[in-house]
A and B are shown apart, each in its own frame.
Chain A
Amino acid sequence: MNMQHATQHTPCENGDREIVRRIRMGDEFAVSEMYRKYARYVAAIAYRLMGNDTDLDDIVQDTFVSAVQSIGGIKDSTVLKTWIGTIAFRNTSRYVMMRQKQKRLAEEKMHTWADFTAPGHSVSIEVEELMSRIPYKYRAPWILSRVMDMNLAETSEVCNCSVATTKRRIGKADTLIRRMRDDF
C-alpha cells in the first residue's frame, strides 16, 4: 500500500480505534474488518521481504491470529497499521531465518531471498541474486523504506529498532548495493 492509498482512509484512526475496541469485546466481525483493511499491507511486507510467495498465506494468517491474540496489549489503537506491520515483520523474519537454517542444513547452494519457482514472479534472476547477497538485517529496512515507501519512523517502528539504527542499516544496504556489479 503506498502513501497515496493510505491517504484514502482519512478516518482510519477513528476506525482503527473502533476496530480494536470491538475485537477486545470479542466481536468476530471486527476481526474480518481488520483483516480486510490490512491484509494487503501485511502481504506486501511479507512478499517484499521474502521475495516470493511460498509462505505468504501462512505469514498473513499467523500475523492476524497473533494480532487478535495480543490486541489487549496495544496501547495506542490509532497506530494499528504500524502495530500489525511490526507483527508481520517479526513473522516474516522468523520464516526467513527458518528457511536460511533449512538451506544451511541441506547444504544447498541456494540464495535465501529468492525462490525462482515462485509463480507470478517477475523480477529477474540477477536482481534476486543481487538482493540475496545483502544480509537480511540490512535488506529488510532497505526494502521497507526504498521499495515500500515507508518513512524512517515507520520503518524503525516496524523493524523494532531505533531510528538511528534503521538509518544506519539502510545506509549500509545502499553501500552494499553500490559496491555490487552492475549486471541487472
Chain B
Amino acid sequence: MISENRQQQLSEILRSDPVPWDDLRERRVLGEIQQQLIQCNVRPTSRFDTRLLPFPALAAVAAFLLLGLGALLGAYFFSAKPSHPVPANQTTHSTSQNATPDTSVVEIEDIGEATLSKGAKIAFEKKFKNEIRFRQSAGRIHYSIVPQHNRTLVVHVQQIEVRVVGTAFDIEITRDSVSVDVVHGTVLVTAENKRLRLNAGERFDSKSFSKNMHTPNSDNHRMEKMLSQQVVDDAATAPSKGGPKKPASVSHEFNQDASKNIKNAYPQTTTADISPPTTPDESDVTRILKEVDKARRIGNLNDAGALLRQLIRTHPRHADIPIWYFTLGNVTFASGQYRAATQAYHTYLQKAPGGVLAEDAIAAIADAFSHQGDGNAASKAAKDYLEKYPVGVHAARMKAISK
C-alpha cells in the first residue's frame, strides 16, 4: 500500500517532469494555427453555448415555448392570426441596468456588449429569432456589436430606433436631444418615419434632424432629395406594427457616397451635427495588417517592417498602436535588426506598461541586447524580467542571460 506521504511524493515526481514546451515549439505551432485559420477560413462563430444558460433561463425558454405553442393553438382554433410575431426566445422580465459610478459593461448575449457611462440606463425589451431589442432611457452608452449577419441589435431611444449589424457606436441622451455616433460599421437610424444610414465617423443628432425636417425651406427639400438613396419611408417597417424586419440596406461597407450626401444634405449645420470622420479608416488598417501578415508569411520581413512603420505613422492615435510596436519588434528581431527591435519593444512597454505582452516584450529586449553582444544591458533586462515574472514563461532563459 502507498501511504499518503508516498502519494504526495508521486505528485511531486509528476510535477517535476518538465512540460516539453519551448519557444521554438510555441512559434512552430502558432505558425500552423495561423495557416490552418487562413486555409480553412476559420472565423469566430456565434454559436450559443446552451450549457452556459442558467437554469432559470432554461425554464423561461421552456415556459415561453409552451406559451408560444398555446398561442399558436389558440390562434388556430379561433382563426385569428397573431398581430405580432411570437418571439423565439423571450424572457418574462425586463431587466434594467444602472451604471456604476464609473462605467459598467453589459454583455448583450453573444452579439456584443454595451458599456454604460455614469447615469446611463438600458432595459431589455424583446428577443426574436433574428433580432434583439433594447431600450436606452438615459445617459451615454457605447455599443460594440460583433459582425453577425443573422442577428440585429435594435435600440429604441425615445421615438428613435437604431438598427445595427456588426458595428461600434455610441448613443447619448441629453436633456433635449439624442445623438448617435458611429465608430465603425454602419447603423440605420429611424426617426420621424425616416430612415437614415450612418457610416463610420458620422453623427446623428435628433434636435438638428427634427429642426431640418420641419423647416419648409429649399435646403430641406434639397436634403430630402439628396438623401433619397439613404432615407426610405419607414411606415411599413415600424416595429410595433409590422414586427421585426431584417434591414435590407444595412451594410458593413464604408459608403463614401452616403457620407458625402449626408454632409451635403446639411449645408447649414455645423460639424457638431454631422461631424467628419474622426476615427481612422478601419478598412485601411485591416488591409495594411493583412499585407503585413502576408509579407511575414513569405519571409519578406523588411516589407513587413516598412508596412508596420507606415501604419504607425499614418494612424498614430489608433488603439492598437502598442500591439503594432510589439509586432514591429518581432519583425525587426526576426530580420536581425536587434537595435530597432529593442526600440520597438521599449515603445510597446511605454505605451502599454501593463499590457498582456509586457512579459514577452521584456524578455525580447533581453534577447535583443544579448544578440547585440551587450551583455550588461541584456543581464539588466533579464533581471528586470525575473523581478516582475519570477516564474514566467521565459524565466529559465532569462536566468541564463542574467548570469
Instruction: List chain A positions with a Cβ less than 8 A from chain B.
Output: 2, 4-5, 8-9, 11-12, 15, 17-19, 21, 23-29, 31-33, 35-37, 39-40, 43-44, 47-48, 53, 56-57, 60-61, 64-65, 68-77, 119-124, 127, 130-131, 143, 146-147, 160, 174, 177-182, 184
Contact = CB atoms under 8 A, between A and B. Distances in A.
Contacts of A147: 11, 14-15
B26 interface: yes
B12 to A, nearest CB: 9
B391 A5 contact: yes
Contacts of B3: 178, 182
B30 A69 contact: no
A23 B44 contact: yes
- The 7 tightest CB contacts between A and B, nearest first, are A73-B49, A72-B46, A43-B21, A15-B356, A75-B52, A146-B11, A73-B47
B21 A69 contact: no
Interface string B355-369: 111011000000000
B26 A68 contact: no
Contacts of B147: 25-26
B43 interface: yes
B60 to A, nearest CB: 16
A182 B357 contact: no
A65 B20 contact: no
A15 B47 CA distance: 23
Contact of B48 (A48, A73, A127, A180): A73
15 contacts: A4-B391, A8-B359, A21-B113, A26-B147, A28-B34, A31-B34, A35-B33, A39-B26, A57-B28, A70-B49, A72-B110, A74-B49, A131-B14, A147-B11, A182-B1
B26 A24 contact: no
Interface in B359-383: 359-360
B389 A8 contact: yes
Given A23-B44, A33-B357, A37-B356, A72 B10 contact: no
Interface of B: 1-4, 6-7, 10-11, 13-21, 25-26, 28-30, 32-34, 36-37, 40, 42-49, 51-52, 105, 107, 110, 112-113, 144, 146-148, 286, 289, 293, 320, 323, 327, 354-357, 359-360, 388-393
Nearest to A20: B44
B36 A72 contact: no
Contacts, number: 168
Nearest to B109: A75
Contacts of A8: 359, 388-389, 391-392
A144 B326 CA distance: 33
B324 to A, nearest CB: 8
A139 to B, nearest CB: 11
Contact of B323 (A4, A17, A29, A124): A29
A45 to B, nearest CB: 9
Given A5-B392, A8-B391, A43-B19, A123 B13 contact: yes
A28 B33 contact: no
Contacts of A74: 49
A53 B45 CA distance: 30
A122 B42 contact: no
B133 to A, nearest CB: 20
Contact of B32 (A9, A61, A146): A61
Q: Which one of B48, B356, B388, B393 has the highest number of Cβ atoms from chain A below 10 Å of its Cβ?
A: B356
A143 B20 contact: no
Contacts of A28: 34, 37, 289, 293
A26 to B, nearest CB: 7
Nearest to B35: A61
Given A75-B49, A147-B14, 10 more contacts: A21-B113, A29-B289, A39-B26, A48-B14, A71-B44, A73-B45, A120-B20, A179-B1, A180-B2, A182-B6
A60 B354 CA distance: 26
A36 B19 contact: no
Nearest to A119: B20
A47 B33 contact: no
B36 A61 contact: yes
A65 B19 contact: no
Contact of A123 (B7, B14, B43, B393): B14
Contacts of B393: 40
A117 to B, nearest CB: 13
Nearest to A31: B37
Q: Which one of A48, A71, A124, A160 has the highest number of Cβ atoms from chain B below 10 Å of its Cβ?
A: A71
